[in-house]
Chain A
Amino acid sequence: MSRSSFSAVALAVAWRALHNAVTRPALILPSIIFPLFFLVAFAGGLSRVGDVPGFDFPGGYTAFVFVWIVLQSCAFTGAFMGFNIAADFESGFSRRLLLAAADRRGILAGYVITGLVRSTFTALLLFVAALVSGMRLEGSLLDLLGLLALGWLANVVGTLFALGVALRMRSVQAGPLLQTPIFLLMFLAPVWVPLDLLSGFVGAVAGFNPITFAVEAGRSLIAGSATGLPLGYGLLALMALVLTGWALTGLRRAEAAG
């Protein structure tokens, strides 16, 4: 297969999915509203948690929770891509697409591109909302771009995971399977306080959760004192690599199922 057939399929799938998102806002609203709600609930309702002894994040509590919310929104935007492909299977569109596509891997790439565009939009919206609600920025523009790049990686991880599930299940009833693992992975990280202030099983699990390192890298960027970046980016990249195999084998399963 030529490179042009791969990119032609990818761009066509991405164009269709983005067009659907624009023309049917109900499809994308949850992935926008929920992060905004988290920002309101955490930055508004929990800001006094920043007064806990040992909590000394330079950018303030809003900036502290903002990083997690950006990564969470990007990962969940990826998860929602699974709903798209599952719905396409239920309507019969995906089967026709599998027949028509010259290079079927392009289908996966198309959904990944869509996820990246949508997550960028949500992240920018969140950024504006956080600034309006008083977030202090200590990092530079480059640091912010670094945070966005972490979000993109989280989005690719979420998308590839969801595609793997959706291609195997081929039904929107796979919804809980698409969301729950990502939900747990995100919440079993230092969401509201730094890692050393966590306790119980969350504290025990968070130390081994790759998302923890991504969140900490992101927080160091927004605080203007970048640390732990190789681990943060590296672990997400490794997850993306593993999940590429998961999504590709899912595609093979869908092809075999006809």
Chain B
Amino acid sequence: MSSALSTQVGFLIRRSMLRTLRQPAAVIPSITFPLILFGINAGGLAAAAQIPGFPADSYLDFIFAFPFIQGALFGATMAGGDLARDIETGFLNRLSLTPVSRVALLAGLMGGVVGLALLQGLVFVTVGVLAGVQFAAGVGGVAVMLVLMALTALGFGGLGAWLAVRTGSGEAVQGAFPLFFVAIFLSSVNLPRELIAVDWFRAVATWNPVSYLIEGMRSLVITGWDPTALALAFAVAAALVVLGLTAAAAGMRTRLGRT
């Protein structure tokens, strides 16, 4: 990366991070809401660990991947929402008149997404450990989990940014959030796929890439180092990153071309 580009990216990451941190009304829910749902699921479905064939001794451990995925989603909608606001207020138009590059614009935005994801992940790990979650893969597993979360947030963030540049509307980005949310619930988030009794639901969960992200993260907590689960999770995360960033870059090119 040239020094000019790295300077631009650095400034835009800083702006993205500062803007996020200056919106406690947006940051706090992105941390507390996944934790609240984690608590509700862990308490409400604790009895599910007694189902014959359940892969973990504790449902708390089993469901611990959930806040990571949901937190990554929050980051995505924030990134999309922020970019949409830049479009709505005309900031992106003004920025496009400067020598700042398209790559720097996107990288700056995504830097903020990854930064928020890591902050969320650290809080989730702390709360999880205090609640009694035990990582079968140890401290290394925690690090891998954070990397997976950051990649997931980057991928979802790219899709959020794509939606923002396509629609130019924060409302449209927020409106897409329930769709992502549905994708989480139609996965193996609450029960392992082998224990989903309804055939069509199991088929949907099997085709749903979110299942593999969750299962990869979950394996670090309940199994230890599971190469298959981790390889699948990283493959899905990488595909999501490529898809999200490619779509966002293409959308950005079109949007800036119009300016």
Contacts of A246 in B (CB 8 A): none
A188 to B51, CA, bound (A): 22
- A49-B39 contact, Cβ under 8 Å, with A198-B46, A200-B46: no
Asked if B47 is at the interface (CB within 8 A of a chain A CB), the reply is yes
Closest to B37 in A: A187
A33 to B181, CA, bound (A): 13
Whole-angstrom distance from the CB of A203 to the nearest CB of chain B?
A: 6
Contacts of B46 in A (CB 8 A): 197-200
Checking B40, B42, B45 against A49 with a beta-carbon cut-off of 8 angstroms, the contacting residue is B45
A192 to B50, CA, bound (A): 14
Of the stretches B98-106, B120-128, B161-169, B197-205, the one at the interface is: B197-205
Q: Interface residues of B toward A: which range?
A: 20 to 34
- A45-B44 contact, Cβ under 8 Å, with A30-B178, A52-B50: no
Asked if A48 and B195 make an inter-chain contact with CB atoms under 8 angstroms apart, the answer reads: yes
List which B13-39 residues lie within 8 A (CB) of chain A: 29, 36-37, 39
Of the stretches B182-190, B224-232, B234-242, the one at the interface is: B182-190
Asked if A208 is at the interface (CB within 8 A of a chain B CB), the reply is no
A191 to B48, CA, bound (A): 13
Asked if A202 is at the interface (CB within 8 A of a chain B CB), the reply is yes
Give a binary string over B34-65; 1 marks a CB under 8 Å from any A CB, 0 the rest: 00110110111111101110000000100000
List which A192-222 residues lie within 8 A (CB) of chain B: 192-193, 197-203
Asked if B95 is at the interface (CB within 8 A of a chain A CB), the reply is no
Asked if A48 and B182 make an inter-chain contact with CB atoms under 8 angstroms apart, the answer reads: no
Asked if B196 is at the interface (CB within 8 A of a chain A CB), the reply is yes
Asked if B186 and A41 make an inter-chain contact with CB atoms under 8 angstroms apart, the answer reads: yes
Contacts of B178 in A (CB 8 A): 30, 33-34
Whole-angstrom distance from the CB of A55 to the nearest CB of chain B?
A: 7
Asked if A49 and B51 make an inter-chain contact with CB atoms under 8 angstroms apart, the answer reads: yes
Asked if B51 and A45 make an inter-chain contact with CB atoms under 8 angstroms apart, the answer reads: no
Contacts of A47 in B (CB 8 A): 196-198
Asked if A44 is at the interface (CB within 8 A of a chain B CB), the reply is yes
Say what secondary structure dominates the interface of chain B: helix
Asked if A197 and B47 make an inter-chain contact with CB atoms under 8 angstroms apart, the answer reads: yes
Asked if B191 is at the interface (CB within 8 A of a chain A CB), the reply is yes
A198 to B47, CA, bound (A): 7
Asked if A53 and B45 make an inter-chain contact with CB atoms under 8 angstroms apart, the answer reads: no
Whole-angstrom distance from the CB of A208 to the nearest CB of chain B?
A: 14
Whole-angstrom distance from the CB of A44 to the nearest CB of chain B?
A: 4
Asked if A99 is at the interface (CB within 8 A of a chain B CB), the reply is no
Checking B47, B182, B185 against A193 with a beta-carbon cut-off of 8 angstroms, the contacting residue is B47
Closest to B184 in A: A41
Asked if B198 and A198 make an inter-chain contact with CB atoms under 8 angstroms apart, the answer reads: no
Asked if B40 and A45 make an inter-chain contact with CB atoms under 8 angstroms apart, the answer reads: no
Contacts of A33 in B (CB 8 A): 178
Asked if B48 and A203 make an inter-chain contact with CB atoms under 8 angstroms apart, the answer reads: no
Closest to B52 in A: A51
Give a binary string over A30-64; 1 marks a CB under 8 Å from any B CB, 0 the rest: 10011001001101111111011111000000000
Asked if A132 is at the interface (CB within 8 A of a chain B CB), the reply is no
A167 to B49, CA, bound (A): 45
Closest to A186 in B: B40
Asked if A52 and B42 make an inter-chain contact with CB atoms under 8 angstroms apart, the answer reads: no
Whole-angstrom distance from the CB of A169 to the nearest CB of chain B?
A: 14
Listed in ascending order, the chain B residues whose CB lies under 8 Å from chain A are 29, 36-37, 39-40, 42-48, 50-52, 60, 178, 182, 185-186, 190-191, 195-198, 200-201, 205
If A191-B44, A198-B44, A201-B39 are given as contacts, then 13 extra A-B residue pairs at C-beta distance below 8 Å, sorted by A number, are: A44-B201, A47-B198, A49-B48, A49-B51, A51-B52, A176-B29, A187-B40, A188-B40, A192-B45, A197-B47, A198-B43, A201-B43, A203-B43
Could you give 10 example pairs across A and B, Cβ below 8 Å?
Answer: A37-B182, A37-B185, A40-B186, A44-B200, A51-B52, A187-B40, A197-B46, A200-B46, A201-B43, A202-B43
